[in-house]
Structure 1
Amino acid sequence: MTGGAGAAPTPPPAGTGNGPAVSRREFDALFARVRAWGRWAPADRGAWNRVTPEHVRRSAALVRSGTAVALGRPWNTAAGPDNPTPALHYMSDLGDIEPPEPATHKDFIGVDYHGKAVTHLDALSHAAYRGQLYDGRPARECVDAGGARFGAVPALGPLVTRGVLLDLPAVAGCGWLEPGRAVHAGDIASAERALGVTIGEGDAVLLRSGSVRRRREAGAWDPGTASAGFHVDAVPLLAERGIALLGADGDNDVRPSPVDGLHSPVHALALVAMGVPLLDNLDLEALSVAAAETGRYAFLLVVTPLDIPGGTGSPVNPVAVL
C-alpha cells in the first residue's frame, strides 16, 4: 500500500494494479455464492433486517466520550473532474423586499446525488444485474419514470447500528491508498488484527482509503477512472460476517473494475445479491483521527436517509458517536 502527494493517477489496467482479472463466469459464480434472496421480510429492507432492537442497545453501549463525528462531505456546487453534475444552492429569499418583521432568508438546494461528490446512501433499487433487483425482482417492472416500487429508500428508514472503521492507510502507515489499489479479503483480516476490531452480524463496515485527504493534498481527479476500493474477492468475507451496511470514502468499488464488462461489481454483489445498502463518498478523515486517539475502531453509527417516495437512495450525513 502506498500514499503520498503527486499528480492525478494514471489508472492501472484491469487485472494488474487491482488484482487478478475476474471473468463474468467467475463473477456469476461469486454472485450465486453470496446471494441472499428470499431470506428476509420485508424484502426491500434486505440485510438492514439484521439490525434488531437488541443490536441497537448493544451498539449504544459503545458510546463512552459522547464525541459525535459527522461523516458527510460538504455540499459541492463546483464542477470538477470528480463532480460533473454540481449540486445547486441559491437564495430564494433575502428578506430585502419590504418584509414583515422578522425578515426571513430562504434558500433552494438540488442535487443529482448518485455520483462521486455527494455523500449518499444507495437503496436496493439503485442497481440491477442481469435485469433483476435484489430478491430476483424484475427491474423493469419495479422501477420506472415515477420511481421505484420495490427497494425504495423509505423502506429502509433510519439505521442505528455498530459501525466498524477499516482504516487501511493507518494500518499501512501512509496518507492514503493510491487510486486503483484494491482492498482484498486478506487486507480486511489484517486490518481487523491491527486495529483490534472484528466485524460482526448487523455491523456497518466503513472503508477509509484516504481519498478525501489525497484530494485535499494532491488535487481532484476522475475517480470513475481510478479509485481505491473493494475487490470482489473481499465480498464473501463480508457476507459471511453478516453485515447490514457497507460504506467507503470512495464509491466502494475499486476502479478500474477487475471484472470483464462490469463497471461496478461490488455494487452488484452488495445491492443485488446480498441486499446490503451502500454508503458512497464518505468523509472519514475526522473519524480516523478520533479512532486513533481513542484506540477504538467500533462505534455507534446513525444513518437517517430522507423519506423520498420511490427514491433509489438519499443524500445523507451519517454520524459516528464514540
Structure 2
Amino acid sequence: METKIYTAQELSAAAAQLRAGELVAFPTETVYGLGADATNTAAVKKVYQAKGRPSDNPLIVHVADVETVTQYAATLTPTVKKLMDQFWPGPLTIILKLKPQALAEVVTGGLSTAAFRNPRQPLTNALIKAAGVPLVGPSANTSGKPSPTTAAHVYHDLHGKIAGILDAGPTEVGVESTVLDMSAKTPTILRPGAVTRADLLPLLGEVLEQQPLVGKTEIPKAPGMKYTHYSPAAAVQIVDDDQQWTPATAWIATQSDPVGVLATEQQINMRKWPKNAHVISLGTDINTASQRLFAGLRQFDLQPEIKHILVTAFPRTGLGDAYMNRLEKAAGQKHFISL
C-alpha cells in the first residue's frame, strides 16, 4: 500500500479514504492520531494491526462537536457539559458511560465506557466533519514507541501500512491529551496532559489523580495504563537536576559509544560537552520541552550507535506532570545516579 501525504487542500480526498474504511493519520494539537471510522468495526481492527497494538486497549473517539457525543454517551450531566464548554475543543479527553451497544467492542475494549475528545486542531475538526463520522485516533506510531509529533514521524513508522497522512506541520503541545474519567464516583485523571488538575478543580471541586498500571488480565479505561509506552531502542535515564548534569557529563566522557542528551538551553550552555555527546535542545521551559521530547527521542532512535540517552527532568507542576509521566515510562523509571 502506498501511503499518501495529504495537504490541507486535499482534505476531501483524505475524508473519502476514511469513509471507505481506510486509515488516515491526522494532526491534533497534542500528537498525530491514527484515524479510522469509529463506527466501522473492520476499519478499527486495521488500527490495531497497523500499530501492532493489543486489541484490549480502548481507543479515544474523536468528534467535531458535542452533539455527536450525545449519540453514544448514556447521558451528559450538567458538569460534563460545563467541562465541554470550557475545555473543548482542546486537549481534554473525557470518559463517559455509554448507551448499550452504542460502540463496537473493538473501540471500547469491551467496557461500558468510552473516551471522547474534540481536538483543537482546525484541520482535524474539518476532517472529522468531512468524513461525517467520529474517528478513533490513537497515536499514529508503532505501539510502544515515542508518539509522533510530525507527519514525518508517522511516515517512518507506518508507511505502507496506512492509506494516508494529513500533514499540518509539528504539533503544538507534544504530549497526549489529559484523560479525565467522568464515569467514576469522583472525577479522576487517568493520564496527565496539558489540561491540569489545577485547571479542572475550579469547575469540579474535587479531582483525583490516579495513573495505575493495570494487570495483564485487566482492561484499561484509558491508553497508557497497561503497556510500555514512549520507549526508544536506547536505554533512557532521567537526570534529576542541574547539579546532577555535572557527574552525568563526566560519565558520558567515559563511554566508548555516543550518548544522546536532551537538555534545556541553559543546561547545554553552562558546560563543555564531551565529543561523544549528541546534544538536542529541549528549549527554555516546560512548554518547549514537552513539544520536543518525543521528537528528540525519535531522532536518537534513528541513530543505532546511540545506546544511552540522558534526559533532563522538570518539576511535577502544571504541564511538568504530563512531561514526567511520559519520560518516566520511556526510561522505565530509571534515574541517573552518580557513583
TM range (shorter): under 0.3
TM-score normalised per structure 2: 0.24
Greater relative CO, 1 or 2 (CA 8 Å, sep 6+): 1
TM-score, scaled relative to structure 1: 0.25
